[in-house]
Amino acid sequence: MGDVFFYHLTEGSLEGTLPILIARARGQGWRIELRGRDQGRMARLDEALWLGPEEGFLPHGMAGGPHDALQTVILTVEGEAARDVACVMAVDGAALGAVEAGMLARGCVLFDGNDQSAVQRARDQWRALTGAGIGAKYWVQDGGRWVMKKERAAGGSA
């Protein structure tokens, strides 16, 4: 059982942050599900990942294609969870429940710090996951780097 990392985006965009986090997760040898709530938004993230920097090319695919099982990074919308993933990156308030998080090597919740409803959803997710005994770390952008501001150990109280 891994921790869930909460990434509070205050200085960079989701499109700029995802390639970095996905590359780190792939460096661990993990299969990754990037999960959102809206098909159109996921299609735009798909395009952004394809158009990213050439040196940071991230092979990936949208769920529902003929090669889903071969994708190391698969983009999904809630309700179409990928199989055999070690890391789920939830964006735009997508669900990541405690039972599922407990089976992952890592969960990630990325949220826009300039959107108060997104911040509130992330707070609710933090309380639900830590309340269920899942370990969590809260990261915030500070001067272009990520700084961990809060941590709850697995099994700890919220």
Q: What is the pLDDT of residues 118-129, one digit of tens each?
A: 999 999 999 999
Which residues of the chain fall below pLDDT 70? 1, 52-56, 156-158
Q: What backbone phi and psi angles, to 5 degrees, belong to 144?
A: 90, 0
Looking at residue 50, what is its pLDDT? 80
In the chain, what are the domain boundaries? 4-152
Looking at residue 96, what is its pLDDT? 94
Containing 148, the helix (H) or strand (E) segment is strand 145-152
Tally Cβ neighbours within 10 Å of residue 125. Answer: 24
Residue listed under structure tokens 């394809």: 50
Looking at residue 153, what is its pLDDT? 92
Strand stretches in 3-132, DSSP E = 4-9, 32-36, 61-62, 73-77, 87-91, 106-112
Looking at residue 158, what is its pLDDT? 46
Please tell me the CATH superfamily of domain 4-152, with its number.
Answer: DNA polymerase III subunit chi (3.40.50.10110)
Q: Rg for the chain (alpha carbons), in Å?
A: 15
